[in-house]
Copies of this chain bind each other. A is one copy, B any other.
């Protein structure tokens, strides 16, 4: 499978990618190679990865606890201390092996350690393969606010190998599917139809096409002034819903994809109300979403807390929430202001 050249780094696929990684390591004469894992990727992915690594450099493993709840600065401090104690210097390389928490946090850790060391991302979940592999976003959460602290920073390369998907749950695969749906709705409706019709999905093709799309989008609009905002479709409301469930002690957390899928249904509804997004397509999107994900029961009494979280969205400016909405599939409009009562209505529409 061919390499995709992202803005400042390549995304390599499947087995060839390890050859590229070994070349990188040999070429750069790194002092130490740190591999960041969590307890799951250590158990399931590390044994699949390590036979491909061909180097006589010192390898140091750093393990953090899995889960979004640990994607915070306390964990970063722990990793920075570990790298320091293990003798990390400016010529160290950090390889992240895991889902979005590991790749986002690891990229941030590497970019700030002694003002920046090289890092390589190996996403092991569908979500991180199709979403976090391109775009150079790194970061961690601040309290319940997702990715509040972070940077744009480019890895040396990204390796996408779908063998790691054997190690994750069906729920995680579904979580990543939401991002593929998003590329379908906003950029290439074929992807949406493929998922809707669901006949023998070739996951490796879906991943490649998603990375390709994200890369096209980021290349065309690196500074997130226009086109790149489509990547936020479903995420404005989705993030608020995800944060709400994360901070509610008596509710089970939603996966990122589950929350984003709800966000996309609601934002299709807003698109219909404020633009001319066709009514039958809202129902089509909701149908596909509910065919993949269990229905979440959003409680009316929780709406105001969700609205509050919405006001903290990173993309807000001057206290104004900005949505990207759809005129139609593959046809977006950025910076849409939405009245608060309409947002509530859209949550109710999802609930119906």
CB contacts under 8 Å to B, within A135-161, are 137, 139, 142-143, 145, 147-152
* Contact of A152 with B116 at beta-carbon distance under 8 Å, contacts A73-B77, A90-B314 already known: yes
- Judged by a CB distance under 8 angstroms, whether A190 is at the interface is no
- Judged by a CB distance under 8 angstroms, whether A81 is at the interface is yes
Q: Are B316 and A113 in contact (CB under 8 A)?
A: no
Q: Are B318 and A112 in contact (CB under 8 A)?
A: no
- Judged by a CB distance under 8 angstroms, whether A253 is at the interface is no
* Contact of A137 with B115 at beta-carbon distance under 8 Å, contacts A73-B73, A89-B318, A314-B90 already known: yes
- Judged by a CB distance under 8 angstroms, whether A114 is at the interface is yes
- Judged by a CB distance under 8 angstroms, whether A87 is at the interface is yes
* B residues in contact with A81, CB < 8 Å: 142-143
* Contact of A145 with B319 at beta-carbon distance under 8 Å, contacts A77-B73, A151-B112 already known: no
Contact partner, A150, options B77, B115, B152, B315, Cβ 8 Å:
B115
| Nearest-Cβ distance from residue A204 to partner chain B, whole angstroms | 31
* B residues in contact with A150, CB < 8 Å: 112, 114-115
- Judged by a CB distance under 8 angstroms, whether A91 is at the interface is yes
- Judged by a CB distance under 8 angstroms, whether A111 is at the interface is yes
Contact partner, A317, options B91, B147, B148, Cβ 8 Å:
B91
In the docked arrangement, what's the CA distance between A315 and B115, Å?
Answer: 11
Contact partner, A151, options B143, B151, B315, B317, Cβ 8 Å:
B151
In the docked arrangement, what's the CA distance between A131 and B129, Å?
Answer: 43
| Nearest-Cβ distance from residue A52 to partner chain B, whole angstroms | 25
* B residues in contact with A76, CB < 8 Å: 73
A 70-111 to B, binary, CB cutoff 8 A, 1 in contact else 0: 000100110011001001011100000000000000000001
A 314-341 to B, binary, CB cutoff 8 A, 1 in contact else 0: 1111110000000000000000000000
25 A-B residue pairings within 8 Å (CB atoms): A31-B317, A31-B318, A31-B319, A73-B77, A77-B142, A80-B142, A81-B142, A87-B319, A89-B316, A89-B317, A89-B318, A90-B314, A90-B315, A90-B317, A91-B317, A112-B112, A113-B148, A114-B148, A114-B150, A114-B314, A115-B139, A115-B150, A115-B151, A115-B314, A116-B152
